[in-house]
Structure 1
Amino acid sequence: MHAIRLFCLVKGEGTMRAFAITINKNETISDLKKKIRLDQPRAFAKTDSKDLKLWMVNVRDDGQDEIRYNVELMPTREIEEYWSQTPEKNRIHVVVERLTRR
């Protein structure tokens, strides 16, 4: 499988704070959560990767689009199930939400 680059954004932050994650299409969303947590240690210092909720979005990187949280990414699914084609350029592909423990 080949790798793809997904631009991610922490929920509530502006698009200028987006970051890229490279992942193989045969890896899972759970693997993506782990990579995000490792890539952004300060942002998720007190958050386990399982406590991240990921949303598939397709938002322009200039902040002109409204983000709609319609597709929650399931941890057991492979990346290819959501991105069978190369993701569009100049876009945010994933919004990361921290879940609060009760």
Structure 2
Amino acid sequence: MNLTVPGCVGRLHLDGGGSPNWATAEVQSTGPNTCWLAFWQRNTVSGGKTSQGVKVDPYSSGGAGSAYYHDSTHQVAISISNGVQEAGSNWYN
């Protein structure tokens, strides 16, 4: 699943590491700007939410430091920003 704002592409992989229940995320700067990625996990039962962030320099890319588990009660999502515009994905089980 890809998410874009001008100069930035965020990618959410629901089968990160070859496992169908682990998600990974990455962000790429395709333009002359810095890009930010937030990678989210929430528990739909307890309401708990965790996140991690990645900042990449112009024309570079980077990935989240760890994967998040997702199943019937755990959902994952990403949001990205180019410093001016932001976009967020849906939540995925």
Same fold by TM-score greater than 0.5: no
User: TM-score range, shorter-chain basis?
Assistant: 0.3 to 0.5
- TM norm structure 1: 0.33
Higher relative contact order (Cα pairs below 8 Å, separated by 6+ residues):
1
TM-score by length of 2: 0.35
Would you tell me which structure has more helix in proportion to its own residues?
1
